[in-house]
Structure 1
Amino acid sequence: MADETAVNDTDTAPQQHAEELRFNYNGGDTSELAQHLTGRNLSSRLPKLVRRSFALAWAADRCSTLVLLTCQVLSGLLEALGLFATTATLSALIYSVQDPAHLRTALPSVLVLAAAAGLRAVLGIAIQGLSNRLGPRISREAEYRMLEAATNAEMAAYDHPGFNDRYDKADRGVEVSRDMIGQSQNLVSSLATLIAAAVVITALAPLLLPLLALTAVPQALASVAGERVTYLATLRTFHDRRMLNMLRWHLTHKDQADQIRTDTLAPYLLDKYRASGARVDRTNDQAAWQRAKISFVGSAVSGLASALMWAGVMVLLGAGHISAAAAGTLVFALRSASGGLHGIVGYGSDLMRTGRYMDDWESFIEEAAGQRLDRGDIVPVRPLHVALHRVTYRYPEADHDTLHEVDFAVRQGEIVAVVGENGSGKTTLMKLLSGLNLPTQGVVTWDGISTRDLDPHALWKQCAVVPQEFARWPLSARENIHLGQPQREADDAVRRAAGASGADAVISVLRSGLDTLLAREWWGGQALSSGQWQRIAGARAIHRDAGLLVMDEPTSDLDPRAEHRIFTGLRRLARDRAIVLVTHNLANTIVADRIVILEGGRVTAEGTFPDLISRPGLFRDLWLLQQDRANSSAQEDTT
């Protein structure tokens, strides 16, 4: 009785060592990053960020970028010209108090001021329009580079922990990249305003320049410190924000909608969503309060420096070091300079924030480039013999080998079935045969040539794969079969492939035949069942007319009639192909010339169907288990 109580207590007690759901992302140590988020390091980055922004703009639209830069330069020159004309205008106005005839001397200066203001307004409109034009193009350019890097990386890259998370962070960089050109041009514009004003101030009262700089330095330092607080808060909440995205997807996606309801799982997942959101809110609230205190101190010190600067103008005027007209010009110049400084601080902060996301984008592209397809350039022909020679494969950072010293071969005209329990390495074997992955040890050869030495894109043209998780492209039925690579016979070739896989029965009931869109959720197309989609997936593999056909559980969702149709047609397909078949339905392996047994990543047996069921081993055990279910049902019926 005591033992029973102990067992019950163990069953009902909370698991103290249960693993917590966390995203495996190696994003760097936050304390180390904090050391680099300093005023010196971040301010030195601004020129690099501006160059990156205009480099992307140049790649996206050279003409618009060149015009934008020209407008920025002209706007800065007109700013300086207007400030210099201000002195002459004010001087004439002051002297006109004693002699109205001096008003005429102010006319040229007034015209210069009006012309400069008008042209700057026109240039401002042009600059804004060009920035709006370039923004979406920059975003598209950044996204294209990211997609190009991802699609040209080795498949093994996706198995590295954190690769997909880093892709998501890079995607955030793509989203904000459209803002970079606007922030950069605003920063450049503020810098141009500051330079124009500084030139005027230097000509009239150079002693005021240090005081002018002092008004901006405290706010700049406060801005940098605030950005550091915000960024570190973003890092601390990264895992919870990823959790929120994941939970939102699972709660609302169609594929899980039925189970969310029948399993009454929504309240439990919503509680997890609320808990993650609460942690994000607490961290953000702390960061917001800390940043507000930093901003208050920076603004207070900057305000004190500003008061000293204006006091300096009054002292210079009272001491007779500058004229009243010069003092008036200094007022305008100092206001312009102050606006330029504050613009540099503000837009610089925005650009640095965007730049951090763009750093994630750039890091991902560099990471993907480091795992870029870098193989040989030999173009393979239709393979006659594909083989693995003592091949070992271990996924990145895995604890053990998935395949270990595997020898395997398939020849043109031959059907080889691969059988094994879950986790035995069958799918990994398929990926190695089709060149998706390269072996950790050993060699995979096509007609004696290592897949490392073959052009991967040319290899894949000679390979057709029906994976377990087949793609359901939001395209027409025709495009879902020919995949943008139609043959000379066009629709005739598509229909032949559909007939071989049983997809012709699917196409015959579609409202527009091959022209039917298979994407109801997106574009009003027609939805298919899983079994119908699997027939389409089989048709696309057959349509490729490749020398190697790899089929990984190709009939798992099919009814018996459709399954029979595919397997009875395999022998005809094998006339000019090498076919590798993975299936758990052992009755289907009867069509194979050879059956290879995988256990724990090793080949433990090989032979024909009659041979393997006649001798002890895994194949015979699995076959008897499948027959046992049928025999048990028959015995129940007789009783």
Structure 2
Amino acid sequence: MPRQEGRAGAPRPSAPPELGYTGRAHSRAMEDTSLVDMARRIPAALGATFRLAWSVDRRMVATVLVCQVLSGIGTAVMLAAVADAMGPLFGATHPAAGLREAGPSLLVAGVALGAGSGAWIVADWATRRLNPQVASAADLAMVDLLMRVELSAYDEEGFTDRSQAAETGALRAVDLAEDAKNMTNGLVQLVSAASVLTVLHPLLLGVLLLSVVPRGMGGVISARIDYRVFDASVSARNTRGMMRWFLTTPTLADELRANTMRPYLHFWYRTMCDRVEGRALAAAPLHLRVNTFAASLSGVFTVGMWGSLAALVVSDRMTLALAGTAIVASQTAGRSLNSVIRYGAAMFHHALYLDDYHRFLGRAGELTTRRGGAKPEAPAEIRLTGAAFSYPEKRTPALHPVSLTLRRGEVVALVGENGAGKSTLVRLLTGLTLPTAGSVHWDDTDLATADAESVWRHVGLVPQQNGHWPLAARENIDLGQPRTHGDDLVWQAAEQVGMDEVIRELPAGLDTLLARSLWGGHELSGGQWQRLACARAMYRSPGLLILDEPTSEMDARGEHRIFSELRGMARDRITLVVTHRLDNVKMADRIIVLDKGSIREEGTFGQLTDAGGLFAELYALSQDR
């Protein structure tokens, strides 16, 4: 029963809903796969792990493989030397004489054991060097693709779910590499020890398998239980992780406290914690029963192995010395077989998520921005000819066919109510999205045939939700672009938006880290962040400058300065301003009014207010506030 914090007798809040998570293609794979199927798929998992590790550091992969083989050879030599030593130790009349005779063999066994251990240590060192590289490679590949997919990819059904599943796969890549090392080492050790046992007596190998297989099966069943718990709680853990950021970030701290949201949100978070915790606790008794049964059955067969050894010795079919060697070999083989089964099951588990990762990379790769090779210059004219856009699975287009021309030197205002299609039109103008019908041309270049990066080099965009990048003030303006004139252009852009004095007063000026949540960081106000976003766009000296609600958080002085600068810079570019503050559109050369995805009106401020249409109505409402 979820615990909650609250006043005695207070009504109980409704619990947060159970959310489904559909991004995994293998939600029942651990439960539905037999041990034989699992063993059959392990080579594929090993191959995938090998290819990923080989792509990041071939030298370390080769080191691990060579050391695994050397470790196995060391085990085999050690067991063979122990077998040679057992005869003198058990057969000599005087212990001292037996020890002297067995000395060379024991020395070889010790050296082989040391060499095998040394090889294992080096393999572990190489794996520790591989792991962070594998983790970074998996993460970078995914982040790079997500930054390059078409924006329409995010509208594809299931894309976000698959992305979340792939994130899990990227995280599991390191576990898979570690498990592969442990499993292959166990396999090499098993082959070495089993070979010695088979030479001593074939019966011993069969009895050994019977003694360790129950524990292995118990490990597989436990892995299935763990997977079932993980699968059942993945939604709660994901939503809990998301909510945790909202509860602890300073960005929302004011709203959380002033609106007394803490009691309910604490209850909500506690409920998610209880769901995750409860499913894990419910599985604990099942784990206990499985492991107890497996250990008991294994114990019965282990006693059988000891009995077999005793029977062989009593019947003179095996000497006491060889029986001692068999004991050492069986212990080694038993540990190795346990490792193979345990890490093999874990590898299969992790490989399911890595498969999700590779599937997603393949799909995201298909959705990356690949259009054409044309490289347009900064546009003197942008023409939309019957350009429309519809989102997948939506019956109504976000933007009906639009024919429109924007020219260099113009300041155009785009207005309309929420959902009118303004953001969609902006995406088409900038080439962020291609129209699903019609065309968009920059001068004579159809954007469907243009290299997207070449188009975006001429765009300066200030979106409604601009990035508060955790970078220095300088990089928040130039975003790391080459500074051919030192910081002169950075300061010029800051001055254009009225941020130069603010930056000079920061503790380290342009070098100040703008992230209060990081050590040594500094925070700006909402309006200052908007000014900085405008400076970032102006620094680029773009051919197309688009500002979407650029002054919503600015004071009157800052807002006046931004629009004055826009007017002064207009001659060298096409400027489009999206705003709900209709007083600001007086400075525009032309106003375009969108309504339900279509252009409803177009003209100057005076023409539209005199026409008495939608714009006049919206403007009158804005004056009544």
Please, what TM-score do these two structures have when normalized by structure 2? 0.92
TM-superposed deviation, 1:513? 2.6
User: Quick one: structure 1 residues 503 and 99, their matched pair in 2 at CA, closer, same or farther if it must change by over 3 Å?
Assistant: closer
User: Quick one: structure 1 residues 96 and 598, their matched pair in 2 at CA, closer, same or farther if it must change by over 3 Å?
Assistant: same
**What is the SS of the residue equivalent to 1:431?**
helix
Residue 557 (structure 2) pairs with residue 561 (structure 1):
yes
Structure 2 partner of 1:442:
438
Equivalents in 1 of 2:93, 2:601: separation in Å? Answer: 110
Q: Is the 8 A contact 2:413 2:585 kept in 1?
A: yes
Would you identify which runs of 4 or more consecutive aligned residues in structure 1 move more than 6 Å? none
**269-278 or 526-535, which moves further after superposition?**
269-278
Structure 2 partner of 1:155:
151
User: Quick one: structure 1 residues 535 and 443, their matched pair in 2 at CA, closer, same or farther if it must change by over 3 Å?
Assistant: same
Equivalents in 2 of 1:517, 1:149: separation in Å? Answer: 28
TM-superposed deviation, 1:507? 2.2
Structure 1 partner of 2:255:
259
Supply the AA of the counterpart residue of 2:297.
Answer: V
Residue 208 (structure 2) pairs with residue 200 (structure 1):
no
Q: Is the 8 A contact 2:72 2:188 kept in 1?
A: yes
Deviations 1:347-394 (A, max 9, x none): 223333433443343343233223222221222211222233223323
Equivalents in 2 of 1:368, 1:487: separation in Å? Answer: 33
User: Quick one: structure 1 residues 393 and 24, their matched pair in 2 at CA, closer, same or farther if it must change by over 3 Å?
Assistant: farther
Structure 1 partner of 2:135:
139
Supply the AA of the counterpart residue of 1:441.
Answer: A
Equivalents in 2 of 1:99, 1:609: separation in Å? Answer: 111
Supply the AA of the counterpart residue of 1:518.
Answer: L
Of residues 605, 609, 612, the one that matches 1:613 is 609
Equivalents in 2 of 1:370, 1:197: separation in Å? Answer: 48
Equivalents in 1 of 2:217, 2:369: separation in Å? Answer: 45
**26-35 or 253-262, which moves further after superposition?**
26-35
Structure 1 partner of 2:76:
80
User: Quick one: structure 1 residues 441 and 234, their matched pair in 2 at CA, closer, same or farther if it must change by over 3 Å?
Assistant: farther
Equivalents in 1 of 2:25, 2:178: separation in Å? Answer: 31
Total equivalences in the alignment: 615
Structure 2 partner of 1:579:
575
TM-superposed deviation, 1:336? 0.9
Structure 2 partner of 1:539:
535
Of residues 234, 238, 243, the one that matches 1:238 is 234
Q: Is the 8 A contact 2:187 2:336 kept in 1?
A: yes
Supply the AA of the counterpart residue of 1:514.
Answer: L
**What is the SS of the residue equivalent to 1:380?**
coil
TM-superposed deviation, 1:46? 2.4
Specify every segment of 5 or more residues in structure 1 that has no aligned partner in the other structure, as ranges.
1-12, 630-639
TM-superposed deviation, 1:569? 2.2
Residue 481 (structure 2) pairs with residue 485 (structure 1):
yes
**What is the SS of the residue equivalent to 2:448?**
coil
Deviations 1:563-605 (A, max 9, x none): 1122122233221211111011112212222211111111111
Structure 2 partner of 1:4:
none
**What is the SS of the residue equivalent to 2:23?**
coil
Of residues 223, 227, 237, the one that matches 1:227 is 223
Question: Map of 1:316-327 to 2, 5 A cutoff?
Answer: 316-327=312-323
TM-superposed deviation, 1:35? 5.5
**393-402 or 242-251, which moves further after superposition?**
393-402
Equivalents in 2 of 1:284, 1:105: separation in Å? Answer: 57
**26-35 or 188-197, which moves further after superposition?**
26-35
Q: Is the 8 A contact 1:37 1:228 kept in 2?
A: no
Deviations 1:144-173 (A, max 9, x none): 112122112222233445544544443344
Structure 2 partner of 1:431:
427
User: Quick one: structure 1 residues 564 and 101, their matched pair in 2 at CA, closer, same or farther if it must change by over 3 Å?
Assistant: closer
Structure 1 partner of 2:42:
46
Structure 2 partner of 1:290:
286
User: Quick one: structure 1 residues 451 and 409, their matched pair in 2 at CA, closer, same or farther if it must change by over 3 Å?
Assistant: same
TM-superposed deviation, 1:339? 0.9
Structure 2 partner of 1:633:
none
Q: Is the 8 A contact 2:15 2:271 kept in 1?
A: no
Equivalents in 2 of 1:430, 1:19: separation in Å? Answer: 40
Equivalents in 2 of 1:376, 1:195: separation in Å? Answer: 56
Give the root-mean-square deviation of aligned CA atoms: 2.6
Equivalents in 1 of 2:468, 2:586: separation in Å? Answer: 30
Equivalents in 2 of 1:453, 1:19: separation in Å? Answer: 52
Supply the AA of the counterpart residue of 1:128.
Answer: D
TM-superposed deviation, 1:24? 6.5
Residue 361 (structure 2) pairs with residue 404 (structure 1):
no
**What is the SS of the residue equivalent to 1:465?**
strand
Structure 2 partner of 1:26:
22
Deviations 1:480-531 (A, max 9, x none): 1111113422322112222222222422432333222222321313221111
Structure 2 partner of 1:250:
246
Please, what TM-score do these two structures have when normalized by structure 1? 0.90
**What is the SS of the residue equivalent to 1:237?**
helix
Q: Is the 8 A contact 2:15 2:268 kept in 1?
A: no
Supply the AA of the counterpart residue of 1:234.
Answer: F
Q: Is the 8 A contact 1:37 1:224 kept in 2?
A: no
Equivalents in 2 of 1:152, 1:598: separation in Å? Answer: 30
Supply the AA of the counterpart residue of 2:217.
Answer: L
TM-superposed deviation, 1:289? 2.4
TM-superposed deviation, 1:49? 2.5
Q: Is the 8 A contact 1:389 1:442 kept in 2?
A: yes
Question: Map of 1:383-402 to 2, 5 A cutoff?
Answer: 383-398=379-394, 400-402=396-398
Structure 1 partner of 2:295:
299
Equivalents in 2 of 1:276, 1:100: separation in Å? Answer: 68
**186-195 or 40-49, which moves further after superposition?**
40-49
Structure 2 partner of 1:635:
none
Of residues 332, 343, 351, the one that matches 2:347 is 351
TM-superposed deviation, 1:29? 7.6
Q: Is the 8 A contact 1:547 1:577 kept in 2?
A: yes
Residue 412 (structure 2) pairs with residue 416 (structure 1):
yes
Specify every segment of 5 or more residues in structure 2 that has no aligned partner in the other structure, as ranges.
1-10
Equivalents in 2 of 1:561, 1:347: separation in Å? Answer: 65
**What is the SS of the residue equivalent to 2:513?**
coil
Deviations 1:214-249 (A, max 9, x none): 223333333222222221221221222222123222
Residue 330 (structure 2) pairs with residue 334 (structure 1):
yes
Structure 1 partner of 2:4:
none
Structure 1 partner of 2:6:
none
Residue 516 (structure 2) pairs with residue 520 (structure 1):
yes
Structure 2 partner of 1:127:
123
User: Quick one: structure 1 residues 408 and 190, their matched pair in 2 at CA, closer, same or farther if it must change by over 3 Å?
Assistant: same
Supply the AA of the counterpart residue of 1:409.
Answer: T
User: Quick one: structure 1 residues 54 and 515, their matched pair in 2 at CA, closer, same or farther if it must change by over 3 Å?
Assistant: same
Deviations 1:98-134 (A, max 9, x none): 7975654423212211211121222232222222222
Structure 2 partner of 1:314:
310
Q: Is the 8 A contact 1:388 1:406 kept in 2?
A: yes
Residue 469 (structure 2) pairs with residue 459 (structure 1):
no
User: Quick one: structure 1 residues 442 and 14, their matched pair in 2 at CA, closer, same or farther if it must change by over 3 Å?
Assistant: farther
**What is the SS of the residue equivalent to 2:518?**
helix
Equivalents in 2 of 1:26, 1:367: separation in Å? Answer: 17
Supply the AA of the counterpart residue of 1:144.
Answer: L
User: Quick one: structure 1 residues 195 and 146, their matched pair in 2 at CA, closer, same or farther if it must change by over 3 Å?
Assistant: same
User: Quick one: structure 1 residues 91 and 432, their matched pair in 2 at CA, closer, same or farther if it must change by over 3 Å?
Assistant: same
**567-576 or 397-406, which moves further after superposition?**
397-406
Equivalents in 1 of 2:96, 2:500: separation in Å? Answer: 96
TM-superposed deviation, 1:405? 1.7
Q: Is the 8 A contact 1:551 1:581 kept in 2?
A: yes
Q: Is the 8 A contact 1:589 1:595 kept in 2?
A: yes
Supply the AA of the counterpart residue of 2:600.
Answer: T
Residue 176 (structure 2) pairs with residue 180 (structure 1):
yes
Equivalents in 1 of 2:506, 2:99: separation in Å? Answer: 85
Residue 375 (structure 2) pairs with residue 379 (structure 1):
yes
Structure 1 partner of 2:107:
111
- The percent of aligned pairs where both chains have the same amino acid is 39
